[in-house]
Every structure is written in C-alpha cells, then in structure tokens.
Amino acid sequence: MEMEKAVKMFFFPFVGGGHQIPLIDTARVFASHGATSTILTTPSNAPHFHNSITRDQQNGLPITVHTLPADIPDTDMSAGPMVDTSALLEPLRHFLLQHPPDCIVVDMFHRWAGDILHQLRIPRIIFTGNGCFARCVHENIMEHVSLQSLSSDSEPFVVPNLPDAIEMTRSQLPVFMRNPSLFPDRIKQLEENSFGTIINSFHDLEPAYADHIRAELGKKAWLVGPVSLCNRTVADKTERGKPHTIDEQKLLNWLNSKKPNSVLYVSFGSLVRLPSEQLREIAYGLEASDQPFIWVVGNVLNSSKNEENGNGIPEGFEQRMKELDKGLMLRGWAPQLLILGHDAIGGFMTHCGWNSTLEGVCSGVPMITWPLTAEQFSNEKLITKVLRIGVQVGSKEWVMWNTEWKEFVGREKVEFAVKKLMVESEEAKEMRTRVRDIAGKAIRAVEHGGTSYNDAEALIQELKARRLGNQI
C-alpha cells in the first residue's frame, strides 16, 4: 500500500525569474506524474504563476501553492546568490514540522536550508538551474586547472577530462571561479549531503555530459527536462513567468505577416542591463542586416527607475523600423515561448541563459550567442562547438549584471552574425536542420517512455522505496 500511495514533494524555488520559472515548471511536471506537489513561495511571488497552477488544478493535477508568511523582495535574481532569503527559515521549519514531505526540491541559492532539512531528516534534492555541460566544465576547471598560472585573462586553455576539446579563457569564467572564496561554502554543503540533483535537461541534448556527471563526477542526478514543454496552451505560454503588458494579438498579427524563418528574435533575459553604447551598436547592426526582428529591450545600465526602458536606442530608430515594417520593439516581460514557437522566427540572439537556450532548442531555432554572465560562456560552447546550432557574435568578457563594461561588440559584428545565421547559406541550413532534429528529441524525451519521463518516474519510485524502508 505504501508503494501505491502518492509521493509528497515540496518545491522551494528561489525568488525571481531565472530560477523560479523552471522550478515551478518542474513541480508541474512531477504533478503530471502523480506526485502531490506543493510549491513553497512568498506572497509577492505567488501571483506570477497563479493562473497556470489554477489551470493545472482544474485539469485534475495534484498541485498546490503554500505561501510562507515572511516576505522578501522580488529581486528577479538581480542580486544573485547574495540575496538573503533566510527570513523564510522559521516559517519553513514550522510548515515542515506540521506537514513533513517525502522530499523537498530546493534551489541551490537557499544556501541556509541544508541545516534545517538535515535536522528534520527530510531528503533534499537540489535544483541548480543549469545543464550538464556547464556543470562538467566548471567542476573540472575548479578541480584540475590552476587559473592563477595562466599568463593573462585572455589566454585560452583546454578544459581537462571532458568528452570534447573545449577551450575557455579566464575572462569567460564566473567571478567565483577566479576567486573561489567568493563562492558560499553553504551552497557546496547544501549539495554534498543531498539526495541528489534534478537537472532541467534531457539525455539526447548532452548525452556524454549527462553520463559524465553520473559516472565521472559521481553525482546522483535526474534529467527531467525540458520542463518548459509542460506549457502546452497559448495561455500557459503567454503568462509564463510574469504578467506582461504586451498586446499578444498585435504581436501575433505582426508575426503572421512575415515569411517562415525570416524574423530574428533578440532578447538578453531579465537580469543583465546593457549599456547605452551597446544598445546603439545592436540597433545599428540590426538595421544594417536588413532582417526583420523582434527586440525585447530590457533595463539600461545605470538608468534611473524613472527613465523609460530602452533609453539607449538611437533617436528615430524605432520609428524608422516601424515605418519600414522591419522591427518590433518590446519592453518589459515578453511571452518568449509564444514568440519562439512561431513559424516566422528563424533565429534567436540570446545571452545563452540556460532557460533561453533550452527554449530555443525546443522551438527548433538556431542561435546567435552573446553570453554575458553566470555560466553563459559555457552554454555558448555547447551551442556552437558541441551541438553546432549557433553563431558567436564575439562576446569575450564575463560581466556582473550591474557593472560597467570594459568593451562592446561593434555594429559590424552584429550585422555579420545576423546575416550569417539568417541568410540561407549551406551552413545556416545545416544548423537549422540540426536544431530541428534536437527539438524532436526534446519532445520525445518528455513523452511516455522517453528518457526524461523515465527519470521522473525513477525518482518517484526511489522516494517511495525510501519511505517504505523508513517504516520497516
């Protein structure tokens, strides 16, 4: 009977889009497998996914949301792992004592959670928000490479002990890798004593690296993605992440007027702020490429909150693009899944965040890679060197989301990359064919009997077996 009883899983996402969105989707995935899923969040974050959870409940899925009384700001990940969420500790402890689950899936940035979960003897499963490839690259560098011995930040080196020959430079690595003392020890401890790791990826995307994590790095991991594929309806795709003010019908009408594969989608995520100088270079490069585009313009570096988003756009540019019917400028949160899934989209200029990378892959859209921060330079290597479904724009320097840039990518490089991807050369056709093949594999991975489906089922069975063992 205990093996038949539904597994009770809690999901504890970090605040903000980059980590919150995929973990919410992960909770929905496990609910679709019959696990009783409860999302633990704050009152200010719960409205961001209220509608999708309500629709799941109406469709009979066993999923709920519990808000912890203490609240913290909606940071949108803007301060990264230094955001202190420990005000949630006592409300979390109280809830877990009253409603003990079979496990809790916790974001790695809740670095304080390890002690309390250990005390309560609740299995914790870690969610890191990145894929297998980047994880292998970073762990092997930290284990085997003396970064201080390199002659300069720009000196290339081959990452040892990987299935492929991957070159990196010190300037492309996160600051905590260059200075390990900046990486909180409690994040390491949170994972070291965990039940394992849930990864938002699928085996056929990075098979050698999924195997490497398990065999060479000795990590217990379940690949259950791409979790974004649980968003099947237009409503789910439109509302995913945050409410937006974009007229979706106007957006779709514009896309419907374009030829298949003719439009470039440009978005750098919700975290990094681009300097005005870089926005101008992007604008002039897009204009010179003569390709239709949708550009999601985020906040500008050092701009006041009272200033309109996109104040670095050259004067007259937006009006020219509108009159020529060449470009559509969006501000604020955009329905990315809806846009990428449209037949008119033929390319994606991206910062290589893992969520965006997966969403581009699942939509069968090749990419122009412009990594900026976090593990994005590693993701670029996966896209361009391993999968060969993208073109590099030429970004070389890892930057913090809110710091001044040392160098910019010029308009000529932007124009060159756009034309290389969007003009139907043999190379571009081959990239398009490869990414569409991977997109098909992504869909099959989450279907009944697929690798991600089976990994989710395997974790549920392990949790049931553990529960049964504890009662003997």
Catalytic annotation, residues: 19, 107
Rg (CA), the chain: 22
How far is the C-alpha of 154 from the C-alpha of 55, rounded, in Å?
Answer: 50
